[in-house]
Structure 1
Amino acid sequence: MNQKTQLTEREKFTALEVNASYVSAPRMSRKHIGLVQLSTDHTLEMDWAKLIGEQAAVFSSRVYYSGDMRPAALDTIATGISKTAQLIATDLPMDVMAFGCTSATMVIGENRVGQLLREGRGDIPTTNPWTAAQAAFKKLGAKKIAIFSPYPSDVNFFLYQQLMKAGFEIVALTSLGIKKDTEITTISKQSMIDALDKMLINSDADLVFMSCTNLRVLDHIELFESMYKRPFVSSNSAMFWHAMALTGTNAHCPGFGRLLNAN
């Protein structure tokens, strides 16, 4: 193709192209949640898809995690949180930032996780399942907590220490001792029931916390509340409720337990 032909094509294109202008539309009215998930999480975004409805818009990215449930491995997740948070929806302001790992938050520390989420995002509220769970316990007036934990004992000790320090009483704690994060997503409903039956026999717990964002328990919360006659809170239900609360909005998600039906 010679230069004359190229110029002719360019001239044809220039004649075809129409210059126009535009006026910017406002940001959609839903609350905007920026979510940092783990690379190993198979459950969180599916649970939140059931809860969101027209209430919020969630924008997420993932931080690398080896899946090793030892505290030292969980602590290394901190090195990627800030960079991952900054990759979420460039130039779109968030109303709240969230980090999706209960155990890593306990190991890294709530305050540090919040600082990492805010880097490059501005001074906005932040949440995580661990902070959210404690807020949910207070919302529901619970002091005596029973915990269903899939974690090994070294991680459970962090959980125990921090809840006691926060002023809650742990009256029961069931551990499955799972050492690889992706295995948590495979826990069956019947396995949960078997553990809960053992843990809650003659228990005076005000509330049961089902810990871990990878635990597929959201769909069973109302059944468990009916069976065991007390509120159940999961990592994923607590974090969505708390993220919305931090924006000044009451989450309303019928069918997923007392917390998400509360005013």
Structure 2
Amino acid sequence: MQTIEEFQKFETPLTHVQSPRIDRVHIGLVQLSTDHSLEMDWAKLLGTQAGVFSSRVYYSSEMTPEALDQIATGISEASDLIATGLPMDVMAFGCTSASIIIGEEKVANLLTKNRGDIPATNPWTAAQAAFKHLGAKKIAVFSPYPTEVNFPLYQQLTNAGFEVVVLGSLGIEKDTDITTVSKESMLEALDKILPDSGADLVFMSCTNLRVLDHIQEIEDKFDIPVVCSNSAMFWHAMHLTGKAAQCPGYGRLLNQ
């Protein structure tokens, strides 16, 4: 066969029937170029209840308000790259500190700019919703961030009506270093800040913090609910679609 016309006579035309979209929650996720933990954590939570379709936005890794604010310039473009032609049920943005600095409403608008009228979440919005869901008012915060990021975190939690009873900070200045914090370091830090704090709940901030696998152990050890950025955002993404996340073994929030 030398010509396309000859090949066309050889080719057998077929027909097909289209199946509906797979029956599970579809989450569109914009995460940071520096995030090493979020995908790994959510892979453990998804099961057959949800599917995640993601892209990434550039981040310099510098833990400063200026660098975090700059992330906003790429969020809408990153959102547009997610699974062209496939409708999402909810959009998520994977950075706690950037959501604090950029602002929750602005992040939601950037995420859904070309996605239609669907809900959006981020770890900061999700964490606050999780605190309310668990009936917690007095919050202990474990933060990997430096002071200039912790201060707005403290201010916004206080302005939202929560009492920050203690805030422990590792003071890490690069996002890519947060993912290397060991379980032993986390437990040691919690041993220092939790006793006699009077906290109703401990929030372990940052999507890059590898704490999800240790939540149950921490809850058992300190007898206190633990919410981390990645557990909160998955719970809230499901909640916004009218579903209850069911992830036994990952703390009270995800095993209601």
TM interval, shorter chain, is: over 0.9
Aligned residues: 256
2:13 maps to: 19
Which amino acid is 1:87 matched to?
A: L
1:68 maps to: 62
2:254 maps to: 260
Q: Of 217, 221, 233, which residue of structure 1 is paired with 2:215? A: 221
Which whole-Å CA distance do the structure 1 matches of 2:200 and 2:252 have between them? Answer: 13
Which amino acid is 1:89 matched to?
A: A
Which whole-Å CA distance do the structure 2 matches of 1:145 and 1:247 have between them? Answer: 27
Mapping of 1:113-132 within 5 angstroms? Answer: 113-132=107-126
2:129 is aligned with 1:135? yes
2:182 maps to: 188
Which whole-Å CA distance do the structure 2 matches of 1:221 and 1:134 have between them? Answer: 18
Q: Which runs of 4+ in 1 moved over 6 A?
A: none
Secondary structure of the 2:2 match is helix
Mapping of 1:215-254 within 5 angstroms? Answer: 215-254=209-248
Give the C-alpha shift of residue 123 in structure 1: 1.1
Which whole-Å CA distance do the structure 2 matches of 1:202 and 1:25 have between them? Answer: 57
Secondary structure of the 1:83 match is helix
Which whole-Å CA distance do the structure 2 matches of 1:14 and 1:239 have between them? Answer: 51
Secondary structure of the 1:220 match is helix
**Per-residue deviation, residues 18-65 of structure 1 (Å, max 9, x unmatched):** 122222210011110000000000000000000000000100000000
2:36 is aligned with 1:42? yes
Structure 1, unmatched stretches of 5+, are none
**Per-residue deviation, residues 163-219 of structure 1 (Å, max 9, x unmatched):** 000000000000000000000000001100111111012111000000000000000
Percent of matched pairs sharing the same residue: 70
2:51 is aligned with 1:57? yes
Q: Of 77, 101, 106, which residue of structure 2 is paired with 1:107? A: 101
Tell me the TM-score normalized by structure 1. Answer: 0.96
Secondary structure of the 1:97 match is strand
Aligned-residue CA RMSD (Å): 0.9
Which amino acid is 2:192 matched to?
A: K
Tell me the TM-score normalized by structure 2. Answer: 0.98
Which whole-Å CA distance do the structure 2 matches of 1:80 and 1:19 have between them? Answer: 43
Structure 2, unmatched stretches of 5+, are none
